[in-house]
Amino acid sequence: MRSPNAYGRVAVLLGGRSAEREISLKSGSAALAALVAAGVDAVGVDAAAPDLLAQLAAGNFARAFVALHGRGGEDGTLQGALEWLGLPYTGSGVLGSALAMDKLRAKQLWQGAGLPTAAYQVASADSDWDAVVAQLGLPLMVKPAREGSSIGMSKVERAVDLPAAVATAAAHDPQVLVERFIGGGEYTVGIVGDRVLPAIKLETPRAFYDYEAKYLRDDTRYLCPCGLPPDAEHALQRLALEAFQALDCRGWGRVDLLLDSAGAPYLMEANTVPGLTDHSLVPLAARAVGLSFEQLALAILDTSLGLPQGTPRLLLAGERADV
């Protein structure tokens, strides 16, 4: 275990100005409390402050723990500013953050790399809706290309509802994706350093795993072990890792996947700063391999040190992760 003093003074960046500000405040506050409990000299800094860069430059900080979700914190913008300041930070760099935040570019890159992702079209108010439905079928998922936490997303069961769903998504981002719905099960795989955490299966009585299911409901189920045979789970973990690396992501994050009715996997999106709230998935998967929240926070902080990553370890629930 590394000495808490080895990290120096740490700025935990939280809040920010995105649509996910409230979730970021919860994630950042949880991470800050865990780091302080571990003896780290950590200070919370709200990234919504107009003098943020001046605060960071004058604060005698040795590194930053990024707990910001959404635009301005998870899209490479902040990462570029931190690099300009010469301040090491947790998680992915500028390119990986920008690619993962943009669902369209991520899908295009995955397609170019030969990785499976659901068929889609880019939609606008003047799209030919009949052609979209003819190509992709029903039901469909409609989403803003550059939002997180399922903000602005809709599941469309009837063609007549497609224009309104696209308009809802476009209110959050002018770039809107319409994807073929994959209904065989939703899974997520967390990655922390060289650990690929156990897959989690998500189950909700709602139409899909939306914002309410993620943060407000008590009837959402998170299954870890996920119920897949070990070989199938390892295959899902390997695909998640390959997708993460294809986007130039590093340090830590989470990849969301869908299985169709035949069990074939499809990549949905990558998250470079996943949630750290009491409803969040990476902490749940970490607990399944014996990592406490405090140990997880320190492992994430370790990603700011720029240490070489070892050979990735695919962990199943019940195995013990090295601390």
Rounded to whole angstroms, the Cα distance separating 101 from 20 reads: 13
Task: Look up 130 and say whether it is catalytic.
Answer: no
Instruction: Compute the half-sphere exposure of residue 84: CA atoms within 13 Å on the CB side of its CA.
Output: 10
| Catalytic residue (choose from 15, 18, 20, 91) | 20
Task: Look up 269 and say whether it is catalytic.
Answer: yes
267 touches 239 (CB < 8 A): yes
Cβ neighbours of residue 4 under 8 Å, at least 6 residues apart?
Answer: 38, 39, 40, 41
Task: Look up 149 and say whether it is catalytic.
Answer: yes
> Where is 121: in which H helix or E strand?
strand 120-123
Task: Look up 251 and say whether it is catalytic.
Answer: no
pLDDT digits (tens, 9 = 90+) for 94-153: 999 999 999 999 999 999 999 999 999 999 888 898 999 999 999 999 999 887 657 788
Task: Look up 7 and say whether it is catalytic.
Answer: no
Query: SS in 3 state form for 2-68?
Result: CCHHHHCCEEEEECCCCCCHHHHHHHHHHHHHHHHHCCCCEEEEECCCCCHHHHHHHCCCCEEEECC
Dihedral sign, Cα of residue 259, residue 264, residue 269, residue 272 = positive
Backbone angles phi, psi at 274, to 5 degrees: -65, 165
Task: Look up 256 and say whether it is catalytic.
Answer: yes
253 band by pLDDT with thresholds 50, 70 and 90: very high
Instruction: Quote the distance between the C-alpha of residue 304 and its chain's center.
Output: 18
Mean pLDDT computed over 267-274 = 96
Mean pLDDT computed over 279-304 = 96
| Catalytic residue (choose from 173, 210, 269, 302) | 269
pLDDT digits (tens, 9 = 90+) for 33-62: 999 999 999 999 999 999 999 999 999 999
pTM assigned to the model: 0.93
Backbone angles phi, psi at 63, to 5 degrees: -165, 170
Question: Angle at the Cα of 269 (from 263 to 275), degrees rounded to 5?
Answer: 110
| Catalytic residue (choose from 89, 120, 215, 266) | 215
Task: Look up 102 and say whether it is catalytic.
Answer: no
| Catalytic residue (choose from 275, 280, 302, 304) | 275
Task: Look up 74 and say whether it is catalytic.
Answer: no
pLDDT digits (tens, 9 = 90+) for 189-244: 999 999 999 999 999 765 555 555 555 557 788 999 999 999 999 999 999 999 99
Retrieve residue 212's tokens.
């309410």
Give pLDDT, residue 216: 54
Could you tell me where the beta strands, DSSP code E, fall in 132-193? 140-144, 154-156, 176-180, 186-192
| Catalytic residue (choose from 254, 266, 280, 304) | 254
pLDDT digits (tens, 9 = 90+) for 58-75: 999 999 999 999 889 999
| Catalytic residue (choose from 149, 150, 154, 280) | 149
